[in-house]
Amino acid sequence: ASALLASITKASRDEPDSGISAAVNHGIGRPGIIPLWSGEGNLPTPEAFCRPAIESLLKGETFYTWQRGIPPLREALARYHSRHYGRAFEAENFFVTGGGMQAIQTILQMIAGEGDEIVLPTPAWPNYAGPMRMMGAKPVEVALDFANGRWHLDLDKLFAAITPKSKAIVLNSPSNPVGWTASLEDLKAVRDECRKRGLWIVGDEVYSRFYYGDKGEPRAPSFLDICDTEERLLLANTFSKNWAMTGWRVGWLQAPKAVGPAIERIIQYNTSGTAAFLQQGCAVALDEGEDFIAAQVVKARANRDLVAAALRAHPQIRFELPRGAFYMFFALDGMTDSLATTYRIIDEAGVGLAPGGTFGPGGEGFLRMCFLRDPAKLGEAMDRFGKWLKTSK
């Protein structure tokens, strides 16, 4: 086995497993486990979005597709954005990918290679730093501060991390795992700095609809509010979260038209396109999914408050109520090894969480819980976890 391992690349051999996968591998299949480790809801995809996919499949739409995505989906993406961002968008700026993950991978592959650096606030989803390292680029991680129960992004610190090797700033807002959400002023500052230094703005706005603003806003502030589509702006997004389609593996990337051929080449050499019948279902989700999204967000907000109330009963727990996304990210006083603690909670309480340490600098000492679940199950998980906190040593 060691000879086999010695003959694969160092990057693929040495990259650590994500702690989320480690938790899942440890706990999956355990009888009675309540899994709150992954970032998805408990509902299957609504029938209204499945039906057009089934019909397309039965109609024989089973051939190779356009690398950039089928025209009806790219047009539906332009319509969706025009509706939500108050100006006209063009289909030519959208590229269909194999989930948000392939959108991220495509972006990174296009803008960074061996020796390049990418500035990334953390705690962040581990699927950013991992692929950067595997392509020989360096994630330059800048931790948000957690002080007096609030997360804060120090923009001076973020910009001080830029060097001549930097290619981009990646900003995930609302953030997985923290729930921190950039204000329009934060976004403008990042935009201005990127413009000044000639960097790409990479935005991950996959949770933008899961936003718990004070005025019932339908989405979080976005780079699309303040940027031009033809500037150095790349946005990753996905059907996974808003429309309960995690298993479909369909997402999109928004980019200036000038880099379209480069994106097409990367997709060509990667998946060679996304199944047409899946894309047909996604197009209908964009056009007809608003009621579903609205109901999901109402449920997420209520669940967030349910979890927050349960956690507040424990003085050893500290957190900020998330403003976006659907995770509670909480510190457990005295915990120094979040992965080991995650294993214990799986074994002893039957609740599956994700270890904070896997989200990079600033994450150790925390645990992440996804709350887009059935409220009764979530309540049971909170009972079990609460009992575990009282009795564990």
Return residues touching ligand PLP (CB under 6 A). Answer: 39, 99-101, 125, 172, 176, 204, 206, 238, 240, 246, 251
Confirm if 209 and 200 have CB atoms less than 8 A apart.
no
Between 240 and 341, whose beta carbon lies closer to ligand PLP?
Answer: 240
Between the CA of residue 164 and those of 137, 142, 297, what are the distances in Å?
14, 17, 41
The least distance separating ligand PLP from the CB of residue 271, rounded to whole angstroms, comes to 13
Between 41 and 350, whose beta carbon lies closer to ligand PLP?
Answer: 41
Between 101 and 226, whose beta carbon lies closer to ligand PLP?
Answer: 101
How far apart, in whole angstroms, are the C-alpha atoms of residue 194 and residue 167?
9
The region, left, alpha or beta by phi > 0 then psi within -120 to 50, assigned to residue 147 is beta
User: Distance of alpha carbon 349 from its chain centroid, rounded?
Assistant: 27
Confirm if 127 and 108 have CB atoms less than 8 A apart.
no
Between 101 and 135, whose beta carbon lies closer to ligand PLP?
Answer: 101
The least distance separating ligand PLP from the CB of residue 312, rounded to whole angstroms, comes to 25
Residue 11, classed as helix, strand or coil, is helix
Between the CA of residue 4 and those of 9, 46, 195, what are the distances in Å?
11, 45, 46
The least distance separating ligand PLP from the CB of residue 181, rounded to whole angstroms, comes to 12
The least distance separating ligand PLP from the CB of residue 191, rounded to whole angstroms, comes to 20
The least distance separating ligand PLP from the CB of residue 6, rounded to whole angstroms, comes to 31
Between 100 and 139, whose beta carbon lies closer to ligand PLP?
Answer: 100
Between 274 and 341, whose beta carbon lies closer to ligand PLP?
Answer: 274
Residues 6 or more apart whose Cβ sits within 8 Å of residue 16: none
Token output for 310: 């349960």
The least distance separating ligand PLP from the CB of residue 292, rounded to whole angstroms, comes to 17
How far apart, in whole angstroms, are the C-alpha atoms of residue 27 and residue 351?
9
How far apart, in whole angstroms, are the C-alpha atoms of residue 159 and residue 156?
5
DSSP per residue, 79-136: HHHHHHHSS---GGGEEEESHHHHHHHHHHHHH--TT-EEEEEES--HHHHHHHHHTT
User: ω into residue 164 within 30 of 0, thus cis?
Assistant: no
Position with the least CB separation from ligand PLP: 100
The least distance separating ligand PLP from the CB of residue 267, rounded to whole angstroms, comes to 15
Between 207 and 350, whose beta carbon lies closer to ligand PLP?
Answer: 207
Between 99 and 281, whose beta carbon lies closer to ligand PLP?
Answer: 99
How far apart, in whole angstroms, are the C-alpha atoms of residue 344 and residue 393?
11
Residue type at position 119: V
How far apart, in whole angstroms, are the C-alpha atoms of residue 140 and residue 199?
14
The least distance separating ligand PLP from the CB of residue 43, rounded to whole angstroms, comes to 15
The least distance separating ligand PLP from the CB of residue 368, rounded to whole angstroms, comes to 11
Between 177 and 350, whose beta carbon lies closer to ligand PLP?
Answer: 177
